[in-house]
């Protein structure tokens, strides 16, 4: 008999369990991150803000040791939101090895490692929410690198949601 499997990206069955969470927001000073912080704060959530170069907690997504250190100092966490990730725009023939490497190491592997390093540190039953972008589904001119890593983030999250089922939810938000 076929079984209906709940989508790993679905809403949690009991939203009350998510009340008053302590949420790490990476990229909290950015356009999207600052709006996320505002919205979550208005809903009574306890936010731990993280930037790259700000005065509070900082992290470099392209440096796994930096992500480990962030978790070591952040304390108890119920959820992680990443609204950061650098990827390089430019025509394919003009993208250098360094451009592609930075896109992979920062926006892709940075978000992958936020989850890998957070397993066992973030409270079980919590969630990880990553950011891709509309270009991951519909590339346009001079966006190969950005589109590539965005699509990889989305596919990684689908697989991670399966592997972490019953421990964490894994989500991706794709801003237009």
Enter the tokens of residue 39: 């919205």
Q: How far apart are CA 90 and CA 96, in angstroms?
A: 10
For the chain, give the number of residues.
Answer: 176
From 40, 86, 119, 151, residue interacting with ligand NAP (rule: CB under 6 A): 86
In whole angstroms, the minimum distance from the beta carbon of 82 to ligand NAP comes to: 8
One symbol per residue from 62 to 81: x for binding ligand NAP (CB under 6 A), - otherwise; what is it?
A: x-------------------
How far apart are alpha carbons 150 and 153 in whole angstroms? 5
Among 88, 113, 131, 144, indicate the residue that binds ligand NAP (CB under 6 A): 131
x/- track of binding to ligand NAP for residues 15-54 (CB under 6 A): -----------xxxxxxxx-----------------xxxx
Min CB(153)–ligand NAP separation in Å: 9
Contact of 108 with 153, CB cutoff 8 Å? yes
Q: Is 173 exposed, middle or buried (0-12, 13-18, 19+ CB in 10 A)?
A: middle
- Residue ranges binding ligand NAP (CB under 6 A): 26-33, 51-54, 59-62, 83-86, 106-107, 131, 133, 175
């Amino acid at each position: 008999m076929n079984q209906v499997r709940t989508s790993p990206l679905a809403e949690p069955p009991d939203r009350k369990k998510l009340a008053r969470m302590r949420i790490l927001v990476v990229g909290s000073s950015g356009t999207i991150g600052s709006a996320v912080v505002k919205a979550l704060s208005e809903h009574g959530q306890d936010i731990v803000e993280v930037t790259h170069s700000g005065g509070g907690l900082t992290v470099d997504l392209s440096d796994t040791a930096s992500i480990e250190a962030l978790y070591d100092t952040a304390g108890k966490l119920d959820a992680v939101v990443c609204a950061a990730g650098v990827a390089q725009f430019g025509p394919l023939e003009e993208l250098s090895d360094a451009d592609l490497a930075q896109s992979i190491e920062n926006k892709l592997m940075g978000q992958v490692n936020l989850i890998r390093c957070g397993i066992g540190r973030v409270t079980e039953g919590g969630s990880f929410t990553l950011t891709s972008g509309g270009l991951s589904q519909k590339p346009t001119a001079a966006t190969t690198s950005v589109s590539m890593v965005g699509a990889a983030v989305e596919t990684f999250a689908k697989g991670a949601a399966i592997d972490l089922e019953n421990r964490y939810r894994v989500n991706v938000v794709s801003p237009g």
